[in-house]
A and B are shown apart, each in its own frame.
Chain A
Amino acid sequence: MMRRITIGAGAGFGVALGLLGATGVARAAPPIRIGVQAPITGTYADEGQGIERAVKLLAAEQNAKGGLLGRKIEVKVCDDQGEAAQAAICARQLVNDHVIAVIGSYTSGAALAAQPIYARADVIQTSDGTSNELLKHGYRTWFGNAAPNSAEAKFTAHYLVDVRHFGKIAVLTDHSSFATGLADAVVADVKADHGDVIDKSFINAGSQNFSPVLTKLKAMHPDVLYFSGYYSDGGLIRAQMVQLGMKAAFVGGDANQNVAFAKIAGPAAAGSVIINVPAPADLPYPVAKTFVAAYKAKYGALPPSVFTLTNADGMRAVMQAIAATKSVKPAKLEAYLHGMKSFQGLTGTFAWNAKGERTGSPFVAFEVQKDGSYRILYPAPTAG
């Protein structure tokens, strides 16, 4: 506690102390600074703290191997509380701390507010934000590390209409930027695939009281309920559907993929389907297994969600770029990241297109089992 306060005060007094500190250790090679901009407090504290932990873990592992280019990696964290104004302040602060790249933020809104500041300062920004607004300006510094809504929506529509042949499809979302964007895209793609969307309804995220809207939907007799929002609501929606005796199947968007989903839904969880890249613990790649094990060993808990890992992938890609280009010059790193054909991520093999959108995401539809584990339904898993 005491140490935290002194560190806090030091960081707060800004440039004067910063310069003193920097000159003090200037003899050794200065560290490479990486920023984390994430919601450490507030509603998304869980996810924000996960991102901070993942980045710090990766930095510590690399430093144990002697760092990068003979320099240590130093992580600077800024709490944006998931709010736009705080995000803008964080961005300026991290830029002033001379970070070369920033991991985060968790919410699209906070990433959006910080984006022009990083772009102007030529600082790499890699976030799980998937709002379309993030791609609008074509910033060279932007690298979305989660699969974009558009790709997920296409896969979802294909799965609902062509694979499962659901007739009446009801769509449910909350008011967040991410979930409404995904729901709208799914509705559009289902219609394009000649599916029948009978209703689009809203829940009030966090209100827990979803029975009224579900009761309304029940009377419409949908074959499937697709929910694009977050797991804490999704698990409850599933539980309340069963409690109300709704027969419709449940299919959830990627933000439902959290260990808590099955726990919240309880016995009702079995049979629900979630569409995402595979879950952290189920990622078939050895690198992912090693990372999750190391995370669990260090922090005593599993990563809160797959977005901890996509952001970790952002950090890993930046470190790989530094090692490969033997440089910390932003222009070189950005060119390397944009030019990468394929990156071996924890969350699968992917690359970035010119807009900084993640391409090549192995979406799967998996079914929640009785014990809370996942079984991949589609595409049918290949041998091994």
Chain B
Amino acid sequence: MGTFIQQVVNGLTVGGIYALIALGYTMVYGVMRLINFAHGDLCILGAFVGLSLLTGAAGSGHTGAALLLLAFVVSIIAIAVAGVVLERIAYRPLRKADRLAAVVSALGASLMIENGIMLVWGPQVHVFPAGLLPATTWHFAGATISFVQVMIILASLVLMAALYAFVNHTRFGTAIRAAAIDQDAARLMGINVNRVITSVFIIGPGLGAIGGLFIGIYYREAYFTMGWTYGLYAFIAAILGGIGNIPGAMLGGVLLGLFNAFAAGYVSSSWQDAITFGLLIAILLVRPSGLLGERVAEKV
């Protein structure tokens, strides 16, 4: 029983992080039908920006919570700006072009950001300072749960709920949903689609920066190729839930985290990823638009 609970906690923590990153994929996809392959790298860039601030301020006498909060704020702002700039330069000129042109532009941007991180911060593994958060752990039915895990799970839930409320219960959220359904119709209804897209490139990367910093704080390390790995997992989570669908990204992220944990814990650690991907493909066969995705005709 303890082992089972432990695996659930393991899965939920990582799943929460996947979900936060997946939201950026799914929002951008929802509005622009673009797979933003650079998203994972933006998130890790967020982790590096936060890291620089935390290590830079290490000797300043500031401690714990306040410093951490500052790191989050700076990193969110920096990555949101980076997201908006990326959209202007690499995606906006391609809005009317073949969808795949923007996908390849995103791949190029991913390569650029990843190697840019290597040039600025160097290729080595970077370590986050210790003792940012209390090292408290709770023991529960044989399972061990740490403060960081609880914080990540709770924060992910709160952020997702806030985003859900924003998109569904505010005027601007309605504009985002309208643009996601049909940009031209939204424009005719007087919605400023450019503003919607800019906002999506603020919210997605902003949440991604939080996800990136969570990775850094939870695992206490960051290196430049990490963005590709997390980006891929988060993208898969978004697809699993039904891409373009916000609750779907949350569900997909959490499920992917749990799949990973159960595959490694109960089936075979050597086939872990194969089991995860096999499950994903099986789900797509039964539900071709993901778990919560709607059946819609391909937009060409």
Contact = CB atoms under 8 A, between A and B. Distances in A.
A244 B144 contact: yes
Contact of A216 (B122, B124, B223, B269): B269
A216 B3 contact: yes
Given A216-B3, A266-B220, A208 B215 contact: yes
A209 B260 contact: yes
Contact of B219 (A42, A202, A208, A231): A208
Given A202-B270, A206-B226, A45 B118 contact: yes
A215 B265 contact: yes
B289 interface: no
Interface in B81-126: 115, 118, 122-125
A212 B215 contact: no
A211 B149 CA distance: 12
Contact of A203 (B6, B124, B269): B269
A49 to B, nearest CB: 6
Interface string B1-18: 011001100110110000
A45 B123 contact: yes
A207 B272 CA distance: 11
A258 to B, nearest CB: 8
B158 interface: no
A239 B146 CA distance: 12
Contact of B264 (A43, A206, A212, A304): A212
A204 B273 contact: yes
Given A207-B229, A208-B215, A260 B264 contact: no
B10 A235 contact: no
A43 B118 CA distance: 10
Interface in A26-43: 41-43
Interface string B247-266: 00000000001001111111
Contact of A212 (B7, B125, B137, B139): B7
Contacts of A235: 221
Interface string A196-238: 0000011110111101110110110000000000011001100
Nearest to A199: B269
Contacts of A267: 130, 135
Q: Is the interface of A mostly helix, strand, loop or mixed?
A: helix
Nearest to A173: B270
Given A202-B269, A245-B139, A264-B220, A215 B3 contact: yes
Contacts of B122: 46
Contacts of A6: none
B199 interface: no
B3 A266 contact: no
B52 interface: no
B198 interface: no
6 contacts: A208-B219, A209-B261, A213-B269, A218-B6, A232-B223, A260-B125
Interface of A: 41-43, 45-46, 49, 175, 201-204, 206-209, 211-213, 215-216, 218-219, 231-232, 235-236, 239, 243-245, 258, 260, 263-264, 266-267, 304
Interface of B: 2-3, 6-7, 10-11, 13-14, 115, 118, 122-125, 127, 130, 135, 137, 139, 144, 146, 215, 219-221, 223-226, 229, 257, 260-266, 269-270, 272-273
Given A175-B270, A264-B220, A267-B130, 20 more contacts: A43-B225, A45-B123, A46-B124, A202-B269, A203-B269, A207-B229, A208-B219, A211-B13, A211-B261, A212-B260, A212-B262, A212-B265, A212-B272, A215-B6, A216-B266, A218-B6, A219-B3, A235-B221, A239-B220, A245-B139
